[in-house]
């Protein structure tokens, strides 16, 4: 049985890259009838905050990513981590080091001058120093050969062991370090596959050596290529790296975001639309691209528009009310109005922003935006004929079509001023649908107000 984990550090909110990692880990576990676990790597006590724990949990809950067990908190396991660090020390896989910060700084400076890679030079590696309080424990990294693993996405990865130094596994204050704690926790939690960003490859090679020293089973690893911003550079807040809950607040649907995230580097034939229930059946790491993905707000908007229009009018009204407080039940034909707005909307927020003319009179005077006197005569003729027709949708469509033809007009010549009059906006939905939803009385009232100078 596959067991995966998502292991965020609660030093900030969940952003898009982390959300994709969580989603892929969840889908891989579920597609293989396994378990998805959550671990908070909260050993950085200064920066780890309970508010971020809650924010990450709320984000995952909104994305419908449900862990199969209560979250594990790395800080709760410090005693066990220390015991295992000393076990490695006793077995000769780690050693005590009393190098001062001054000595280490001088070592790094000399290496930089010599154009060498700054790293611990193993000064205390073979001295057999007895550990005492205030010292650090360093992992005795193999000196010869290579560290390697077969990545489920990137293929064979190997790095010469000379590229690694004897990294610290227990700090001078007695606290375990990230690479040691993460390896131990993966062992304890029975993790079979670790899925995370490719910026962790070096960490993976370190953790594999720690697990090997502990005689633990080595998990499989899959490293996701990073998500780049629209500029092609590392994803930043300006182009998408915002709190996942901000997407919710700004009117994106969780199903749309899930669909968009899974398509950042994963594909399944020519299909574009996937529900979460479909994904847990078909997701395969073999279908993940080994090249970086690029964030696109336009594509996210496209997905959100699709999912908005999958909803019924009642579902839309409920979600818009939850998002912005606007209640389409308070207006006549509210279900038609919200469905009309959803056709061109990218978010629930946009539906709210575009809906004002259904709730308030725009009070637009023709002369304020159009100085052509012939337009007033045209609209006077239009409104006089409009008064005479039945106000069902088909009749309105036929009337507009015949009016344009009889006056030898192209649609924009009538539609552009009429849109502004009816809505106060230059860009608005279908004129015939607008007239029908607003109703005869309101439509005539707005047009006549505009023409009355």
Q: Which pLDDT belongs to residue 262?
A: 98
Q: Which pLDDT belongs to residue 304?
A: 98
Q: What is the DSSP letter of 235?
A: -
Q: Which pLDDT belongs to residue 323?
A: 96
The mean pLDDT of the chain is 95
pLDDT over 80 at 412, yes or no: yes
- Which CATH superfamily includes the segment(s) 3-70+227-294? HUPs (3.40.50.620)
The pLDDT of 359-364, averaged and rounded, is 93
The pLDDT of 51-79, averaged and rounded, is 97
Residue 417's pLDDT band (cuts 50, 70, 90): very high
Q: Which pLDDT belongs to residue 241?
A: 64
Backbone torsions φ then ψ of 222, nearest 5 degrees? -135, 115
| CA–CA gap between residue 285 and residue 204 (Å, rounded) | 18
Backbone torsions φ then ψ of 19, nearest 5 degrees? -65, -40
Q: Which pLDDT belongs to residue 369?
A: 79
HEC sequence for 68-89: CCCCEEHHHHHHHHHHHHHHHH
Q: What is the DSSP letter of 200?
A: G
Please indicate whether residue 236 or residue 116 has the higher confidence score (pLDDT). 116
| CA–CA gap between residue 147 and residue 209 (Å, rounded) | 8
Instruction: Judge contact between 244 and 62, C-beta under 8 A.
Output: yes
Instruction: Judge contact between 234 and 226, C-beta under 8 A.
Output: yes
pLDDT over 90 at 46, yes or no: no
Here the tokens at position 137 are: 């424990």
Q: Which pLDDT belongs to residue 240?
A: 62
Q: What is the dihedral of CA 354, 355, 359, 365, to 10 degrees?
A: 30
Task: Say what percent of the chain tops pLDDT 70.
Answer: 98
Q: Which pLDDT belongs to residue 239?
A: 63
pLDDT over 80 at 148, yes or no: yes
pLDDT in tens, 171-228: 999 999 999 999 999 999 999 999 999 999 999 999 999 999 999 999 999 999 999 9
Give me the residue spans of the domains in the chain. 3-70+227-294, 75-224, 311-359, 366-451
Q: Which pLDDT belongs to residue 185?
A: 98
Nearest to 175, CA basis, from 73, 39, 78: 78
| CA–CA gap between residue 226 and residue 333 (Å, rounded) | 46
Please list, residue by residue across 45-82, b when 16 or more beta carbons sit within 10 angstroms of its beta carbon and e when fewer do. Answer: eeebeeebbebbbebbebbebebeeebbbbbebeeebb
| CA–CA gap between residue 81 and residue 156 (Å, rounded) | 30
The pLDDT of 9-21, averaged and rounded, is 95
| CA–CA gap between residue 328 and residue 335 (Å, rounded) | 7
Instruction: Judge contact between 314 and 328, C-beta under 8 A.
Output: no
Q: Which pLDDT belongs to residue 428?
A: 81
Nearest to 324, CA basis, from 249, 255, 256, 252: 249
- Do the two domains 3-70+227-294 and 75-224 of this chain adopt the same fold? yes
Classify domain 366-451 at the CATH topology level. Arc Repressor Mutant, subunit A (1.10.10)
pLDDT in tens, 221-263: 999 999 998 888 887 666 666 899 999 999 999 999 999 999 9
Please indicate whether residue 236 or residue 158 has the higher confidence score (pLDDT). 158
Count each helix (H run) and each strand (E run) in the chain, helices first: 19, 12
Q: Model's pTM, two decimal places? A: 0.92
The pLDDT of 271-300, averaged and rounded, is 96
The CATH class, in words, for 75-224 is alpha beta
| CA–CA gap between residue 237 and residue 174 (Å, rounded) | 36
Here the tokens at position 447 are: 């047009």
List the alpha helices (DSSP H) in 158-253: 178-188, 201-213, 244-249
């Amino acid at each position: 049985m596959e067991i995966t984990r998502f292991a965020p550090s609660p030093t900030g909110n969940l952003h898009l890259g982390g959300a994709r990692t969580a989603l892929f880990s969840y889908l891989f576990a579920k597609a293989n009838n396994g378990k998805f676990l959550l671990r908070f790597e909260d050993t950085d006590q200064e920066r780890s905050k309970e508010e971020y724990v809650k924010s990450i949990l709320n984000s995952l809950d909104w994305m419908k990513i449900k862990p199969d067990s209560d979250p594990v908190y790395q800080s709760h396991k410090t005693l066990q981590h220390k015991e295992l660090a000393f076990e490695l020390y006793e077995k000769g896989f780690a050693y005590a080091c009393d190098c001062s910060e001054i000595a280490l700084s001088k070592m790094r400076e000399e290496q930089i001058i010599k154009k060498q890679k700054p790293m611990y030079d193993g000064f205390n590696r073979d001295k057999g120093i007895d550990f005492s309080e205030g010292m650090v424990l360093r992992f005795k990294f193999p000196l010869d050969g290579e560290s390697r693993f077969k990545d489920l996405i990137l293929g064979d990865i190997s790095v010469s062991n000379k590229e690694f130094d004897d990294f610290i596994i227990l700090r001078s204050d007695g606290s375990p370090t990230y690479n040691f704690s993460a390896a131990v926790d993966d062992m304890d939690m029975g993790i079979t596959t670790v899925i995370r960003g490719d910026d962790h490859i070096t960490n993976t090679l370190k953790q594999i050596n720690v697990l090997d020293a502990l005689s633990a089973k080595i998990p499989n690893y899959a490293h996701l290529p990073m998500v780049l911003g629209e500029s092609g550079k590392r994803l930043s807040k300006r182009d998408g790296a915002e709190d996942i809950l901000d997407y919710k607040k700004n009117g994106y649907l969780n199903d749309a975001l899930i669909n968009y995230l899974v398509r950042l580097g994963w594909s399944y034939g020519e299909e574009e639309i996937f529900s979460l229930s479909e994904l847990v059946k078909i997701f395969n790491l073999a279908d993940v691209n080994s090249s970086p993905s690029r964030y696109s707000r336009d594509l996210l908007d496209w997905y959100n528009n699709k999912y908005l229009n999958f909803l019924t009018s009642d579902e839309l009204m409920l979600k818009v009310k939850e998002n912005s407080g606007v209640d389409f039940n308070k207006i006549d034909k509210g279900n038609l109005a919200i469905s009309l707005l959803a056709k061109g909307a990218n978010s629930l927020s946009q539906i709210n922003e575009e809906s004002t003319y259904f709730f308030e009179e725009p009070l637009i005077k023709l002369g304020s935006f159009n100085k052509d006197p012939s337009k007033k005569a045209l609209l006077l003729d239009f409104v006089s004929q409009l008064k005479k027709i039945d106000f069902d949708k088909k009749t309105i469509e036929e009337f507009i079509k015949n009016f344009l033809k009889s006056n030898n007009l192209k649609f924009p010549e009538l539609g552009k001023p009429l849109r502004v009059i009816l809505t106060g906006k230059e860009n608005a939905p279908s004129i015939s649908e607008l007239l029908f939803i607003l109703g005869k009385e309101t439509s005539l009232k707005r047009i006549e107000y505009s023409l009355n100078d």
